[in-house]
Chains A and B, each alone.
Chain A
Amino acid sequence: MSAQSVSETQQSFVKGFISFIIIFVIVLALWHVFMDANGILKFYTPMLGFSLVAVWLGSILLISNIFELSPFREEKMSSSGGLGLGLILTALSIIFMLIIVYGIFWNFIGRFGVAYFSPASIVASGGTGAEPFVARENASTAIIYIVTAFIWWTLVWDLGFGAWPWLDTSKGVRAWSKFCSISVLTVLTYAILFHPHVCQLFYPPQDKAGVSPWWAEFAGTGSAFLSLGLALCSLKWVVISDLLWDGYPWKWLGKRGQGNFIRGLVTLVGCLILGIISMVVLLKIMNIYWMEPFEGGQYTDAPYFRYLHAGEISGFIVLAAFILKTYFNNFPNLSVLGSSALIRTVIAFLGGGLFYAFYYSNLSVMLLGKVPGVAQPDDTPLVWTMLFLSVIIVHAQFFGGWPLKRSKS
Chain B
Amino acid sequence: MERRNFLKSLAAAGMVASVASPSGLLSREAHAAGKVNIGEVKNVKVDVLTETSWFDNDILKKNMMDYGGAMTSQYAIPWDPKNAGGYAALITVTELDGKERKILLDSGWSNEWMDYIFQDKSNVASMLKSGEIEFMVLSHWHLDHYWGIESTLKHKPDITMYAPKTFYPEDMALLKEKGRLTAKDKSGEEVLLCKNDVPHTGKLILCGPEGEEGSGVHKLMPGVALRMFDVPILLRVRGENVLYFNVKDKGIVTVTGCCHPGILSLFSFARSNFEGYKPYGCYGGLHVSLFETWDPKFDDLIKGVKSFQIAKMGCNHCTGWIFAEKADAAGIPIVKGTDKFKTYTRYSTVNKGNNVFLTNGDSIVF
List the interface of chain A (C-beta within 8 A of B).
37-38, 42, 44-46, 48, 128-129, 131-134, 136, 138, 197, 200-203, 205, 213, 216, 218-224, 277, 280-281, 283-285, 287-289, 291-299, 301-304, 306, 369-379
Contacts and interface: CB of A to CB of B under 8 A. Distances in A.
Central interface residue in B8, B31, B262, B302, by most chain A CB within 10 Å: B262
A219 B31 CA distance: 20
15 contacts: A132-B61, A134-B61, A134-B291, A288-B8, A288-B11, A292-B28, A295-B307, A296-B301, A298-B263, A302-B262, A370-B232, A371-B236, A373-B231, A376-B233, A379-B232
A46 B84 CA distance: 24
B265 A301 contact: yes
Given A297-B304, A376-B233, A138 B71 contact: no
A371 B237 CA distance: 7
A129 B296 contact: no
B296 A223 contact: yes
B305 interface: yes
- Which 6 A-B residue pairings sit nearest by Cβ, starting from the closest? A296-B304, A298-B262, A45-B69, A222-B296, A42-B68, A373-B232
B72 A302 contact: no
Contacts of A292: 26-31
A185 to B, nearest CB: 24
Contacts of B291: 129, 133-134
B311 interface: no
B300 interface: yes
Contact of B294 (A37, A205, A281, A288): A205
Measured as residues with beta carbon below 8 angstroms from the partner, the interface class of chain B is 35 or more
Contacts of A203: 289, 292-294, 322
Given A37-B68, A44-B71, A46-B70, A375 B31 contact: no
B14 A200 contact: no
Nearest to A49: B69
A304 B69 contact: no
Given A131-B57, A304-B297, A294 B232 contact: no
Contacts of A281: 15, 19
A70 B67 CA distance: 40
Contact of B232 (A201, A284, A376): A376
Contacts of B76: 37-38
A138 B61 CA distance: 14
B295 interface: yes
B297 A221 contact: yes
B296 A375 contact: no
A115 B148 CA distance: 41
A293 to B, nearest CB: 6
A220 B67 CA distance: 36
B73 interface: yes
Interface string B252-272: 000000001111110010001
A304 B72 CA distance: 24
Given A44-B71, A220-B300, A223-B300, 19 more contacts: A37-B72, A38-B76, A131-B62, A133-B291, A134-B293, A200-B296, A200-B299, A203-B289, A213-B296, A285-B12, A292-B28, A296-B262, A296-B264, A296-B300, A297-B264, A298-B262, A298-B301, A304-B297, A377-B234
Given A37-B73, A292-B28, A131 B61 contact: yes
Interface string B4-44: 00011011101100110000111111110000000000000
B249 interface: no
A307 to B, nearest CB: 9
Contacts of A128: 292-293, 322
A304 B295 CA distance: 12
A197 to B, nearest CB: 6
Contact of B25 (A224, A283, A296, A299): A283
B151 to A, nearest CB: 27
A288 B14 contact: yes
Interface in B116-160: none
A216 B71 CA distance: 29
B46 interface: no
Nearest to A134: B293
A283 B294 CA distance: 26
A116 B237 CA distance: 31
B273 to A, nearest CB: 12
Contacts of A205: 294
A284 B238 contact: no
Interface in B84-131: none
B62 A132 contact: yes
A299 B287 CA distance: 12
B71 A379 contact: yes
B303 interface: yes
Given A44-B69, A203-B292, A371-B233, A296 B28 contact: no
B362 interface: no
Contacts of B18: 284, 287-288
Central interface residue in B232, B260, B292, B296, by most chain A CB within 10 Å: B296
Contact of B238 (A48, A220, A373): A373
Contacts of B231: 299, 373, 375-376
B224 to A, nearest CB: 24
A200 B322 CA distance: 13
B261 to A, nearest CB: 6
B64 interface: yes
A287 B30 CA distance: 11
Interface in B46-89: 57-58, 61-62, 64-65, 67-73, 76
A243 B51 CA distance: 55
B69 A301 contact: no
B230 interface: yes
B31 A221 contact: no
A288 B31 CA distance: 10
A295 B64 CA distance: 30
B69 A42 contact: yes
Contacts of B72: 37-38, 42
A222 B28 CA distance: 18
B61 A133 contact: yes
A254 B7 CA distance: 45
A132 B68 contact: no
A293 B25 CA distance: 10
A93 to B, nearest CB: 24
B295 A301 contact: no
Contact of B297 (A42, A223, A369): A223
Contacts of A136: 65
Central interface residue in A213, A223, A370, A374, by most chain B CB within 10 Å: A223
A378 B64 CA distance: 13
A280 B20 CA distance: 10
A200 B292 contact: no
